[in-house]
Structure 1
Amino acid sequence: MPAADRRGTTVSRLRVDDAGVTLQATDDVPVNVLFDDQRVFSFWLLRDTEERDGERFLAWPPVLRGFLSGAVRVGLADPSGDEGSTWAEVEAVLGDGEGRVAVRDKQGNPMGLDKSMRLMRLFADRDPDQLRPLQDAIEIVAEALRRAGLEPFVAYGTLLGAVRDGDFIGHDSDADLGYVSRFEYPVDVTAESFRVQRDLEAMGYRVQRYSGLGLKVMVEEGDGTSRGLDVFGGFLRDGQLYLMGEVGHPFQREWIFPLGTAELAGRSVPVPAEPERLLEVMYGPGWRKPDPAFKFGTPASVRRRLDGWFRGTRHGLDERWVRERTGDVAKPKSGPSRFARWVAEREPDAVLAVDVGCGRGHDAVWLAGQGHRAVGVDYFPPDLRRAQRLAQRRGADAAFRWTSLTELRSVLETGAALATEPGPRIVLARHVLEATNPAGRRNLLLLARMLTRDQGRAYLQVIVEDGEAAHRRGLQPVGVGELERLVAASGGGIEELVRLSTAEAELPLAPGEGHLDTVRMVVSWHR
């Protein structure tokens, strides 16, 4: 939050069209986007927009595009909700222009985007009776955790709402619990978390595990609805508090224990002894001011520690879910892709074909049908299960392996296992390099080298030009120069590089997105 008072913020020249929102603004502050007075999502006027000819532009969140057809009054308003807080509004006609835009579920309930940009029914659009089952679930899970030997408290947005407002935050959609272990070593804290999971399951609860220190406890409500509460574990060591999710910060034990209480929508909930200190660590010194567009700025060092200690082989799954919601380009829903056909034409004699980032397996299953022994590699378990079922239905000689490119041990294990398969071998990777991080790119080329050195090639298809259309899909294009550097660093050589049209690349584009510059590259590690 800048020094300027939000009441002095000026928003002007607001325009709305099918592409997004264009405006001019004087300050970088959060703003609510209203559709006919219904809050739909939020953003920061400068941080989340791009400069275009002296104005600011924000593309519509992809998850909203299916709703953007009809007339609508779009307003930009101060999240603090002070009187006269709407800074600008304009009447617009989007899509085919029929009827009015309504962001609602199939039952007609209003929906909006929460802090994670998920389209949900938010607390602000629910009445107190509808929130009682969630309050019951908080009490039930907290008591179950106490029976399992922990001292739970409400955390993150639930703690913020209780301390700041005495209520649930209107733009939130779920509830969180946390606890601080009595242990101080990661291995002991992890062992305790698994013991707690077993205890909860023995009590009859269904538990989903996010990581070595993150759980979701499912509670069955009276009408049979299943509600999940996230439980974030933490511990204190050497004067530092580590709390799963986002926290790694100097902290004192007496700021947590003994637990106190606060009121949340008329009920008492457990909170840390000095909850303000934890809220400042989570949300910064400006936590008392509403910010529905808040983004956690977790230091890279903290993220690396939490990844290494607790997330392990789960690292990266959140990014995959984001790409699924924003228009994943990994594999077509039915195959094969033109890329797979192109590779198969060039390598009719390959014995083993390894499809990295295989998604739901359509290319791998098709390659098996062409006479290859096919192995699909991916790190999203639901896709791997779908791929296995597809292979079984079609009687294809295709197998599927879980592998995380961001974990060297996972890559080495997969490489060592598949290197025993007969050759020659080929590796395919369609839009994988730009969907992972730098370590994942290096490890992909390492895996390809392990499998194809002296008896095969790797075939890569990559978006090479940075742009809005790629970022909307959660991708980070890799330029041709960077590709050449990565290949050279791996000890390989580029045999061929082919530039593709958007149609040849099979990349679906939304109206006005232009194009995505894409290349196909053939790499070998022949001595």
Structure 2
Amino acid sequence: MAHPEPSALVPDGTGGIRQVWATEQGLVFEVSAPGERSIDVRVDGRRVWSFQESATEVPPGLRPPAARNGQLRFEPWPVVLRSRLVGTFHVELCPVDGGAGASVVAVLGDPAARPVLADVHGRPLVVNKWGRLGHTIADADPDMVGRLLGHMDEIRDLLRAHLGDRVFVTGGTLLGPARADGRLIPYDDDADLAYLSSWQHPADVARENFEIGRLLRERGYDVIRLSAAHVQMHFDHGGVPDHYVDVFAGFLLDGIWYQYFAIGAEAGPERLLPPGTVHVEGRPEPTPQDPGFMLTQLFGPGWRVPDPAFGFDLPPALTDRFFGWFGDDHADREDWDDVVLLSAPGTAPADDVPSAFADWVDRRTPEDHAILELGSGLGADARALGARGRTVRGVDFSRMCVRASRARLSGPGTRVTFDTVNLLDVRAVLRLGAECAATGTPWTVVGRRVLNALDGRGRDNVFRLCGMLLRRGGAARFDVLTDAAYPHVPAHQRPDLDQLWRECGVHGLVLEEAERRLEPMTWPRAPEEQVVEMTRVTLRRRPR
């Protein structure tokens, strides 16, 4: 396609960015001199993304004919952003160090369209430090910061009462104020608390963190467990997701300070305790005794220089150690949350049309069986089966999906319920199995593609659950991706049938039926529908 007109030239000698061109693949820009500057990208006047200048060559065919003697750079659009940048819009590149920037009017696709850079609730979206679409303090309403810090202080006081004076702010909540202005970072999106456990063994640290999670739930907080060392509390405002507060565990072991999820450094307690004080938006908050030491470990020695393009680059040995100690109960959850949060308003179907898989399950399930649907998503199959007179309990670990599913229930007489359950958490799975078994009702367990959303430990939990619930003669029915050519499901979530039979056999299950067929499929971050090979399987409890 033809290149849009470039920006007006920045006069030589001023430094920074001289010209910019917006292409379908990304941004081509001309700099007066090479550098390693961080650059904000503003779309129609609002920052939506930041990147670090690199020497990436301009792809063939994208070199602008109007480029002069400066050095050309290229930055591809983030994958999560590109599909939303359709139409005519203004793009501006602004070096964070204050150097000269440049802008251009971009035309990508339909010139009459405008970019869609808001979530389903109308909240502005940005590309965050994890490469995902998220939100920032700068784009929130002015009162949100007060609500955020008010909830952080409530949680801080609760932790202090339970742990003693061992709690402090961390992450961006410490970084912005420590840069001497006392303000939160405008491109941050949450509040961060950490504590130094009095325990040393990771098992004891995990046990203590579970106690903290229970304490927070008892006080009425909406708690999400991300690992055995990390919990997150979410808050709504006016019926819309508003903000969240993270709590991270830390501990000392053999002269090393481990602070989930990013620190493993030589340190003694004197670097951390007793807490000092920093003012955050005018509020006195606790800090580690040596806040600069924590910030250096988190953000590197250049933490004093603002860098909205910062991204964590953690040593694999450290992340592997934390995973071995504390696991990861959050894997891919945000992908499924985004199915709801990043959809356009009004895109949900007006009626609940059951999938072909749900019809297949319905024909094979006795009328007196209740149905437990694992990974119920937006709830269309569960509601459709409920409309046929069935009792259905749908569970999903995406809070956003469960919320959307409940919102479309027909009324108080429905026999369909939805709950948030994390299949990666063995404690939650055992609780779910005990609750269902206690009803005395025979159950059929179903999961549409859920086994491809789980790693080996998650599948083990599912088969453990089936082993608990199929003792009264029920069945478990799943459809599983068996198309080796489909690229969007990673290999560790794409077991072949032989592997599945070995995994389920550990829990006393046997294969009764396997039926291969071709079906259309989409997946988070892969919205284009493809026809793939699926296999529908039926499992039963092995006769004793």
Q: TM-score, normalised by structure 1?
A: 0.68
RMSD: 5.5
Matched, 1:61 2:80: yes
Matched, 1:40 2:55: no
Matched, 1:295 2:300: no
Q: Is the 1:350–1:425 contact (alpha carbons within 8 Å) kept by the matching residues of 2?
A: no
Post-superposition offset of 1:421:
8.0
Matched, 1:441 2:459: yes
Residue 26 of structure 2 corresponds to 21
In 2 relative to 1, CA 466–327 (structure 1 residues): closer, same or farther, beyond 3 Å?
farther
In 2 relative to 1, CA 426–322 (structure 1 residues): closer, same or farther, beyond 3 Å?
same
Post-superposition offset of 1:304:
4.3
Post-superposition offset of 1:41:
1.4
Deviations 1:125-156 (A, max 9, x none): 699x8798479749965984698453543310
Residue 4 of structure 1 corresponds to none
In 2 relative to 1, CA 29–516 (structure 1 residues): closer, same or farther, beyond 3 Å?
farther
Which residue identity does 2:99 align to in structure 1?
E
Which residue identity does 1:519 align to in structure 2?
M
Counterpart Cα distance in 1 of 2:400 and 2:123: 29
Q: Is the 2:232–2:246 contact (alpha carbons within 8 Å) kept by the matching residues of 1?
A: yes
Residue 173 of structure 2 corresponds to 158
Matched, 1:458 2:463: no
Q: Is the 2:480–2:534 contact (alpha carbons within 8 Å) kept by the matching residues of 1?
A: yes
Matched, 1:337 2:337: no
Residue 71 of structure 1 corresponds to 88
SS, match of residue 411 in structure 2:
helix
Matched, 1:84 2:100: yes
Post-superposition offset of 1:258:
3.4
Counterpart Cα distance in 2 of 1:144 and 1:480: 45
In 2 relative to 1, CA 384–192 (structure 1 residues): closer, same or farther, beyond 3 Å?
closer
Post-superposition offset of 1:254:
1.0
Higher helix residue share: 1
Q: Is the 2:148–2:243 contact (alpha carbons within 8 Å) kept by the matching residues of 1?
A: no
Post-superposition offset of 1:276:
2.4
Which residue identity does 1:173 align to in structure 2?
D
In 2 relative to 1, CA 60–467 (structure 1 residues): closer, same or farther, beyond 3 Å?
farther
In 2 relative to 1, CA 267–348 (structure 1 residues): closer, same or farther, beyond 3 Å?
closer
Which residue identity does 1:355 align to in structure 2?
E
In 2 relative to 1, CA 141–98 (structure 1 residues): closer, same or farther, beyond 3 Å?
same
Residue 377 of structure 1 corresponds to 395
Matched, 1:306 2:326: yes
Counterpart Cα distance in 1 of 2:145 and 2:426: 46
Q: Is the 1:411–1:443 contact (alpha carbons within 8 Å) kept by the matching residues of 2?
A: yes
SS, match of residue 496 in structure 2:
helix
In 2 relative to 1, CA 350–520 (structure 1 residues): closer, same or farther, beyond 3 Å?
farther
Q: Is the 1:178–1:234 contact (alpha carbons within 8 Å) kept by the matching residues of 2?
A: yes
In 2 relative to 1, CA 325–110 (structure 1 residues): closer, same or farther, beyond 3 Å?
closer
Residue 296 of structure 2 corresponds to 280
In 2 relative to 1, CA 69–209 (structure 1 residues): closer, same or farther, beyond 3 Å?
same
SS, match of residue 61 in structure 1:
helix
Which residue identity does 1:280 align to in structure 2?
T
Deviations 1:350-379 (A, max 9, x none): 643332112354322432444545343333
Counterpart Cα distance in 2 of 1:242 and 1:57: 36
Superposition pairs of residues 194-209 of structure 1, within 5 angstroms? 207-209=221-223
In 2 relative to 1, CA 499–390 (structure 1 residues): closer, same or farther, beyond 3 Å?
same
Post-superposition offset of 1:157:
0.8
Stretch deviating more after TM superposition (259-268 or 295-304): 259-268
Superposition pairs of residues 486-525 of structure 1, within 5 angstroms? 486-491=500-505, 492-493=510-511, 495-500=514-519, 502=520, 505=521, 513=528, 515=530, 517=532, 519-524=534-539
Residue 257 of structure 1 corresponds to 273
Q: Is the 1:333–1:362 contact (alpha carbons within 8 Å) kept by the matching residues of 2?
A: no
Post-superposition offset of 1:484:
4.6
Query: What runs of 5+ residues in structure 2 fail to find an aligned partner?
Result: 1-13, 63-73
SS, match of residue 427 in structure 1:
strand
Counterpart Cα distance in 2 of 1:243 and 1:253: 13
SS, match of residue 404 in structure 1:
coil
Post-superposition offset of 1:335:
2.2
Residue 66 of structure 2 corresponds to none
In the alignment, which of 415, 419, 425 is matched to residue 407 of structure 1?
Answer: 425
Counterpart Cα distance in 2 of 1:507 and 1:256: 44
Which residue identity does 1:258 align to in structure 2?
P
In the alignment, which of 429, 432, 436 is matched to residue 447 of structure 2?
Answer: 429
Post-superposition offset of 1:430:
1.7
SS, match of residue 32 in structure 1:
strand
Number of equivalences: 487
Counterpart Cα distance in 2 of 1:421 and 1:107: 38
Deviations 1:312-334 (A, max 9, x none): xx887556435544569xx9785
Residue 367 of structure 1 corresponds to 385
Post-superposition offset of 1:72:
1.9
Counterpart Cα distance in 2 of 1:217 and 1:427: 30
Q: Is the 1:109–1:121 contact (alpha carbons within 8 Å) kept by the matching residues of 2?
A: no
Deviations 1:47-99 (A, max 9, x none): 999x999987445526x866x45422334554x4241366xx65322454238
Counterpart Cα distance in 1 of 2:333 and 2:158: 26
Counterpart Cα distance in 2 of 1:434 and 1:214: 25
Deviations 1:251-304 (A, max 9, x none): 321111233345666776543222222123323455455243413636032144
Which residue identity does 1:336 align to in structure 2?
V
SS, match of residue 311 in structure 2:
coil
Q: TM-score, normalised by structure 2?
A: 0.66
Stretch deviating more after TM superposition (142-151 or 273-282): 142-151
In 2 relative to 1, CA 61–376 (structure 1 residues): closer, same or farther, beyond 3 Å?
same
Which residue identity does 2:88 align to in structure 1?
A
Counterpart Cα distance in 1 of 2:461 and 2:517: 23
In 2 relative to 1, CA 450–153 (structure 1 residues): closer, same or farther, beyond 3 Å?
closer
Post-superposition offset of 1:40:
0.8
Counterpart Cα distance in 2 of 1:132 and 1:479: 39
Identity %: 24
Query: What runs of 5+ residues in structure 1 fail to find an aligned partner?
Result: 1-6
Q: Is the 2:249–2:260 contact (alpha carbons within 8 Å) kept by the matching residues of 1?
A: yes
Matched, 1:120 2:128: no
Q: Is the 1:260–1:271 contact (alpha carbons within 8 Å) kept by the matching residues of 2?
A: yes
Deviations 1:196-250 (A, max 9, x none): 8599x6xxxx754444864659899xxxx99765454544344343445544554
Counterpart Cα distance in 2 of 1:410 and 1:140: 29
In 2 relative to 1, CA 152–192 (structure 1 residues): closer, same or farther, beyond 3 Å?
same
Deviations 1:438-470 (A, max 9, x none): 3213433454466569864523154846778x4
